[in-house]
A and B are shown apart, each in its own frame.
Chain A
Amino acid sequence: MSTEQLHRIRLQVNGVAHEVEVPARRLLSDALRHDLGLTGTHVGCEHGVCGACTILVDGTPMRSCLMFAVSAADSELTTVEGLANADGSLGPVQQAFRECHGLQCGFCTPGFLTTITAGIKENPSPTEDEAREMIAGNLCRCTGYQNIVKAVCRAAELAAEQSPSTGEPLS
């Protein structure tokens, strides 16, 4: 495979532009982890079932293992590393997971955090059923989901407190 063509692309991740050279077959998840060293994005099943690799593409949750890095060059990407507040403190979803014990081993957590970050923007006050629907595409083998569902509702509360104009979704 010595002649495999490389593509020079610019990936915009958490507000920072990175120039990388990758083969077309480089999965976006691998580009983030191996080329950029952003190992917060986890890779579980690598075929779109488990949700661990979920990141935000232009603010929308997508599976980074089901995209090629070369396809993501025009988009603004947000990984779990980009979810903390500007001062470095935990963002509302991270804080809620901590308060509600929403994680045990932590492997699935990055995918939950990104999914819920977008989910509570779309629905700022989810019911418990809506919280379950929000995370239905993410697998967790430790918690039994109870505390993750609690964390979704708590994250929505925290986000509303942090948002200066109540009722408005966080931008």
Chain B
Amino acid sequence: MKPAPFDYVRPRTLDDAVQALAGRPEAKVLAGGQSLVPLLSMRLAAPSLLVDINALPDLDHVRVDETGVRIGALARHAQVLADPEVRRVQPLVSLALANVAHPTIRNRGTTVGSLVHADAAAEMPMVIRLLEGSVEVAGPSGRRTIEAADLYLGPLESSLHHDEIAVEAFFPALPARTGVAFEEISRRHGDYAMCGVAALVTFDETGAISRVRAGYLSASDVPTVIDLSEPLADGITPASLAKAAAVALDQLDPETDIHATAAYRAHLVEVLTARVVTAAYDNAHQSTQE
């Protein structure tokens, strides 16, 4: 199981990296490689050129201020997960990262790389969509920002052009009176989840629910976010949670694979929607009382 031959460059500047991609639509960017290298080894992908960005300077940052978390293209999952400021300003990033593969994979894999790999079974693409974040990319005509809502076009397909490199991701801070929760269910600890759900619950000034949104992984062929404010407007009850799960399932398309049947995944959507929305609601209560 060896990759097919490819050309390889390891540029020292971002400009050189962008230039190396120009005119090579079959090229791929190599950051952590924890998803890309298996694809190459299994020959599911055979790029003509790898542009290794690991020697680029100043891309391994994790910067946190009160507006949110900015993660550079070479920041490893483990580095982001270990940052207490990230957890304070946007706890959902940390909650989700703890579920990304195993610690050894998180030591090499990058958060930005995971975002642009655009796997609907991965945690971080769903999280950036749910949090309405963005990704900054560098290309031949300069930089541009892609809103998370515009980032995913299809299975493993992002809206980056072939000659663009994602340089930074932005996850907005948790708004006031808002709670978060995350849970996924997998066959084995650290495996791809059969289904995963994250939720944001926001209260208004009176303490009533004003907004509920949930993100779903492995339940559709793209990372999917669903607004559940309407079914849950009158509060969290077994009946309203069941209605919310039905609204979610209506917009999802779970598929059968070797790990789970579509029917089982649909069941997990129902169970996890109720569980995670309830946990986010409780979390919002706690943070409102603090």
Contacts and interface: CB of A to CB of B under 8 A. Distances in A.
Given A46-B41, A136-B190, A137-B190, A74 B55 contact: yes
Contact of B37 (A48, A133, A137): A48
Interface of A: 1, 4-5, 7, 23-25, 27, 30, 46-48, 51, 54, 57, 60-63, 65-68, 70-71, 74, 115, 133-134, 136-137
Contacts of B155: none
Interface of B: 1-8, 10, 30, 33-34, 37-38, 40-42, 50, 52, 54-55, 78, 101-105, 107-108, 189-190
A110 to B, nearest CB: 13
Contacts, number: 89
Given A27-B41, A136-B189, A136-B190, A63 B5 contact: no
Contact of A25 (B2, B101, B103, B104): B2
B52 A71 contact: yes
B105 A137 contact: yes
B8 A7 contact: yes
Contacts of A57: 107-108
A46 B5 CA distance: 17
Contacts of B104: 51, 54, 61-63, 115, 137
A68 B5 CA distance: 12
A62 B1 contact: no
Contacts of B189: 136
Instruction: Please classify the interface of chain A as helix (H, G, I), strand (E, B), loop, or mixed, using the class held by over half of its residues.
Output: mixed
30 contacts: A24-B6, A24-B8, A25-B3, A25-B4, A47-B1, A47-B37, A47-B38, A47-B42, A48-B34, A51-B104, A60-B78, A60-B107, A61-B103, A65-B37, A65-B41, A66-B37, A66-B105, A68-B8, A68-B52, A70-B8, A71-B10, A71-B33, A74-B55, A134-B103, A136-B102, A136-B189, A136-B190, A137-B101, A137-B102, A137-B104
A48 B7 contact: no
A27 B2 contact: yes
Contact of A66 (B5, B38, B52, B55): B38
A62 B6 contact: no
B84 to A, nearest CB: 16
A136 B186 CA distance: 14
Given A1-B5, A47-B1, A48-B105, 7 more contacts: A25-B6, A27-B2, A27-B41, A48-B37, A57-B107, A61-B107, A68-B37
Contacts of A30: 2
A90 to B, nearest CB: 23
Given A24-B7, A66-B33, A71-B33, A46 B105 contact: no
Nearest to A28: B37
Contacts of A63: 34, 104-105, 108
B104 to A, nearest CB: 5
Nearest to B49: A24
